[in-house]
A and B are shown apart, each in its own frame.
Chain A
Amino acid sequence: MKADRRQPLQPLSTRVRAGRALMPWIRRAVLWIFALWCLFPIYWLVTMSLKRQVDAISRKPKFIFEPIWDNYLSVLANGEVWQYFQNSAIVALGATALSLILGIPTAYVLARYRFTGNADFGFWILSTRMTPPVAMLIPFFVVYVQTGLFDTYIGLILAHVAIIISIVVWLMKGFFEDLPSEMEEAAFMDGATHFQAFFHICLPVTLPGIAAVAILAFLFSWNEFLFSLVLADRIQTVPVGLYSFVGYQQIAWGELSASAVIMLAPVLAFVFVFQRQLVRGLTLGAIK
Chain B
Amino acid sequence: MTKSPNWPQGGFHLPMSRRRLLQAGTVLAGAGVLSSAASPLWAATFEEVGDQWTSADIDWKSQSGKTIVLNAVQHPWTDAITPLIPLFTELTGITVDVQTQSETEYTAELPVKLGAKSASPDVYMVWAIGQAITAGWLENLDGYYANSELSDASWWDGDDLFPSARSFQKWSDGVRYLMPITAESQVMFMNQTMLDSKGLSAPSTMEELMETAVALKSDDVAGIAMRAKSSGDSTWPAGGFIFSYGGAIIDLDGKNVINSPEAVAAIEMYGGLLNKAGPVGISSYQWVECLNDYMAEAIAMGCDSSNFATDIANPDKSQAAGHTTYGTIPKAGSNPIKPNMWHWTAGINSNSANKEAAWLFLQWAVSKPTCLLSSAAGLATPRASAWASDGFQKRFGKQAADTALASLKAGDGDLFKATWFHPKGPQILDAFGIAVNQVATGAMDAKSAMDAAAAKIDADLG
Contacts and interface: CB of A to CB of B under 8 A. Distances in A.
Do A and B come into direct contact in the complex, CB within 8 Å?
yes
Nearest to A53: B317
Nearest to A70: B316
B278 to A, nearest CB: 16
Given A53-B317, A250-B291, A59 B297 contact: yes
Interface in A134-160: 137-138, 141-142, 145
Interface stretch (B44-52, B101-109, B259-267, B431-439): B101-109
Q: How large is the interface on B (under 10, 10 to 19, 20 to 34, 35 or more residues)?
A: 35 or more
Given A57-B296, A58-B296, A145-B116, A244 B100 contact: yes
Contacts, number: 93
Interface stretch (B72-80, B193-201, B353-361): B72-80
Instruction: Name B's interface SS.
Output: mixed
A83 interface: yes
Contacts of B113: 141
A226 B319 contact: no
Nearest to B99: A233
A131 to B, nearest CB: 16
B116 A243 contact: no
A142 B114 CA distance: 11
* Residue of B73, B116, B308, B315 ringed by the most chain A CB atoms within 10 A: B116
B1 A141 contact: no
B422 to A, nearest CB: 22
Contacts of B37: none
26 contacts: A54-B296, A54-B316, A54-B318, A79-B5, A80-B3, A80-B5, A137-B112, A141-B113, A229-B109, A230-B112, A233-B2, A234-B2, A236-B2, A240-B1, A243-B104, A244-B74, A244-B100, A245-B102, A247-B73, A247-B102, A248-B75, A248-B76, A248-B102, A249-B307, A249-B308, A249-B311
Contacts of A226: 108
Given A53-B316, A54-B316, A249-B311, 13 more contacts: A53-B317, A54-B319, A57-B296, A59-B298, A141-B116, A145-B118, A230-B108, A233-B99, A247-B102, A248-B102, A249-B307, A250-B288, A251-B288
B333 interface: no
Given A54-B315, A226-B108, A244 B101 contact: yes
B142 to A, nearest CB: 29
Given A244-B74, A246-B104, A230 B109 contact: yes
Contact of B1 (A52, A58, A59, A236): A236
Interface in B423-442: none
B131 interface: no
Interface in B109-128: 109, 112-113, 115-116, 118, 120
A173 B24 CA distance: 56
B305 interface: yes
Question: Can you list the 9 inter-chain pairs with the closest CB atoms, starting with the nearest?
Answer: A247-B74, A248-B75, A246-B102, A57-B292, A53-B317, A142-B116, A243-B102, A137-B112, A59-B296
A53 B368 CA distance: 34
Nearest to B119: A145
A226 B104 CA distance: 11
Interface string A214-233: 00000000000010011001
A234 to B, nearest CB: 6
Contacts of A54: 295-296, 315-319
B291 A249 contact: yes
A234 B105 CA distance: 14
A178 B79 CA distance: 58
